[in-house]
C-alpha cells in the first residue's frame, strides 16, 4: 500500500509507529458535489474495486438509483501490488494505475490513492473520492429528512466501530490498540443485534443509507474480517438477527450482482502481505446469503 508524494507514486507502507500502533484512516481529499441523477450519460464515471467495501457502497446505490448506464464503472483488479490499484483488459478509461488518475486531477497531490473515485470525464477531474458523499449524489432517496438525525447517529457509531473498526483491529501493530478496536466492534454488533429486534432496517421500516453502509462490512465479515483481521470473538452467523438482516439485504434487487466473495477474498489475503505473508487464500468458509 503506497501513496503519492508531490504527485509521484511511492511504495510507502502505512505508518503506525507515530500513532502508537493504531491504524488511523486519512481523510479523503476531493469533496466536490454534483447531481448524478440529472447527469449527462457517460460524463461521470466511477473507478471502483469489487473487493473494497467503501467502493461497494457506490455500486449498490448506483443499482438502486438505476444509474448503471448513466454512470459507468471501471473495475480494478483484486490484487493490489506495489503500484496500488491496477486496471487491465481495457477496463480503465485510459489509465493503468489509479494513481495516474490522481496525478491528472492534481499534479502535486500528496496522499493515499483510494477507491471509489467519481471522475468527470468531460472536465478531466476528480469530483469526489468520499463514498458517503458519492452515494448521496445519486438521488436514491436513502437519506430522508425526517430520519436524518437518527441516520447520522447510527452512521457515526457504525463507521467508527464497525466499518473502520475491522481495519483498526486488522492493521493494529500494538496489542492494546487491537484489543480496544475488537472490544468496540463487538459491543456495536451486540447493540445492532438488539436494535434489530424491533426494526426491519436500522432506522425503522424504511431502508436507508445506514443499511447500505453496514451491509458492505457485514457481507465480508465471516469470509475475511473474522480470520484475516482477527475479529474472531463471534461470527456474523452467530448473530441470528444480523445474519438474517444481511441475507435480506442481499436479496434486494441488484445487490447480489455487486457481491463477489472470490474477488473479495483474493484481494485481502493476497494484497495485504504484512498481515498474510504467504498470500494463501483460504477455501472457506462456505457461505450462502440466499434467503430460505
Task: Identify the bridge partners of residue 153 per DSSP, sorted by sequence position.
Answer: none
Q: Which of 79, 143, 159, 167 is catalytic?
A: 167
Residues near 152 by Cβ (< 8 Å), separated by ≥ 6?
none
Asked if 167 is an active-site residue, the reply is yes
3 state SS of 172 = coil
Of 62, 92, 87, the residue nearest 76 (C-alpha)? 87
Supply 137's cell numbers. 449524489
What secondary structure letter does DSSP report for 111? B
Gap between the Cα atoms of 73 and 117, Å rounded: 10
How does strand 117-120 pair with strand 125-128? antiparallel
CA distances from 76 to 32, 46, 91, 117, 267 (A): 23, 11, 8, 11, 10
- Which H/E stretch holds residue 90? none
Supply 276's cell numbers. 498474510
Query: Across 76-149, where does the E strand assignment appear?
Result: 117-120, 125-128
Supply 252's cell numbers. 434486494
Q: Which of 52, 97, 203, 245 is catalytic?
A: 52
Gap between the Cα atoms of 234 and 180, Å rounded: 16
Asked if 52 is an active-site residue, the reply is yes
Show which residues are catalytic. Answer: 52, 167
Amino acid at each position: 500500500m503506497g501513496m503519492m508524494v508531490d504527485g509521484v507514486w511511492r511504495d510507502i507502507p502505512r505508518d503506525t509507529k507515530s500513532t502508537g500502533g493504531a491504524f488511523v484512516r486519512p481523510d479523503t481529499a476531493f469533496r466536490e458535489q454534483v447531481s448524478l441523477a440529472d447527469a449527462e450519460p457517460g460524463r461521470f464515471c466511477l473507478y471502483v474495486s469489487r473487493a473494497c467495501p467503501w467502493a461497494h457502497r457506490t455500486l449498490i446505490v448506483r443499482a438502486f438509483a438505476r444509474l448503471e448506464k448513466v454512470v459507468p464503472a471501471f473495475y480494478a483488479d483484486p490484487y493490489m501490488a506495489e503500484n496500488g490499484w491496477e486496471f487491465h483488459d481495457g477496463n480503465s478509461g485510459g489509465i493503468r494505475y489509479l494513481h495516474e488518475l490522481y496525478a491528472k486531477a492534481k499534479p502535486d497531490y500528496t496522499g493515499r490513492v483510494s477507491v471509489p473515485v467519481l471522475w468527470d470525464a468531460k472536465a478531466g477531474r476528480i469530483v469526489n473520492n468520499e463514498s458517503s458523499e458519492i452515494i448521496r449524489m445519486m438521488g436514491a432517496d436513502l437519506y430522508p429528512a425526517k430520519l436524518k438525525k437518527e441516520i447520522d447517529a447510527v452512521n457515526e457509531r457504525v463507521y467508527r466501530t464497525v466499518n473502520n473498526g475491522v481495519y483498526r483491529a486488522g492493521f493494529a501493530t500494538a496489542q492494546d490498540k487491537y484489543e480496544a478496536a475488537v472490544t468496540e466492534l463487538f459491543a456495536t454488533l451486540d447493540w445492532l443485534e438488539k436494535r434489530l429486534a424491533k426494526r426491519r432496517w436500522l432506522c425503522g421500516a424504511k431502508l436507508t443509507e445506514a443499511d447500505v453502509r453496514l451491509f458492505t462490512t457485514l457481507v465480508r465479515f465471516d469470509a475475511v474480517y473474522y480470520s484475516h483481521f482477527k475479529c474472531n470473538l463471534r461470527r456474523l452467523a452467530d448473530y441470528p438477527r444480523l445474519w438474517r438482516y444481511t441475507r435480506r439485504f442481499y436479496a434486494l434487487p441488484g445487490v447480489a450482482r455487486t457481491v463477489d466473495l472470490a474477488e473479495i477474498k483474493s484481494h485481502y489475503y493476497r494484497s495485504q502481505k504484512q498481515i498474510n505473508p504467504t498470500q494463501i487464500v483460504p477455501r472457506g468458509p462456505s457461505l450462502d446469503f440466499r434467503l430460505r
